[in-house]
Amino acid sequence: MRLSPLRIVLLAGVLITSAPVLAQQTGGGMSDDRPIYGRQLMTQQEMEHYRERMRSAESEEERRRIRAEHHAEMQGRARERGVQLPEKPGYGMGGKGMHGQGMGQGMGSGGGSGMGDERRKGGGRQ
């Protein structure tokens, strides 16, 4: 059976949009690139163990419990070492946490070198 280009595009779209749902349903509770709270106080082996525990958790409730236990353990470890961690996981890590703007706000409006206002005012090249 030969698929037309339109069917290929539609099939690819379905696969792309369903991937996050499939990952969540197959225990994708902890991706390997997601920051771990207190990771600067952990060994590589401890981080791998934590990720494995999160992946093997069978429910969101179990993942919440694991996160809470981990948070308490990291807070205790930070106190012992005289290090300060943010109170809430995800905040204070690399600026605005996982939900902020990140490293910068880009060029914003008016920061570029395009023709913009100059052309409208008659001052730019024609």
Q: 70: which 2 tokens? A: 């981990």
Q: Which long-range contacts (CB under 8 A, 24 or more apart) does 75-82 make?
A: 75/38, 77/38, 77/41, 78/38, 78/41, 81/41
Average pLDDT over the chain, rounded to an integer: 73
Q: Are 74 and 38 in contact (CB under 8 A)?
A: yes
Mean pLDDT calculated for residue range 47-69: 96
> Which pLDDT score, from 0 to 100, does residue 115 have?
56
How many folded domains does the chain comprise?
1
- Domain of residue 66 covers 42-90
> Which pLDDT score, from 0 to 100, does residue 59 have?
96
Place of tokens 């880009």: 106
> Which pLDDT score, from 0 to 100, does residue 89 have?
67
Note the pLDDT tens digit of each residue in 11-27: 676 667 765 554 544 44
Note the pLDDT tens digit of each residue in 87-116: 776 654 443 333 333 444 455 555 555 555
Residue 60 lies in a domain: yes
Beta-carbon neighbour count of residue 42 at 10 Å?
Answer: 18
> Which pLDDT score, from 0 to 100, does residue 8 have?
77
Say how far residue 59 (Cα) sits from the centre of its chain: 20
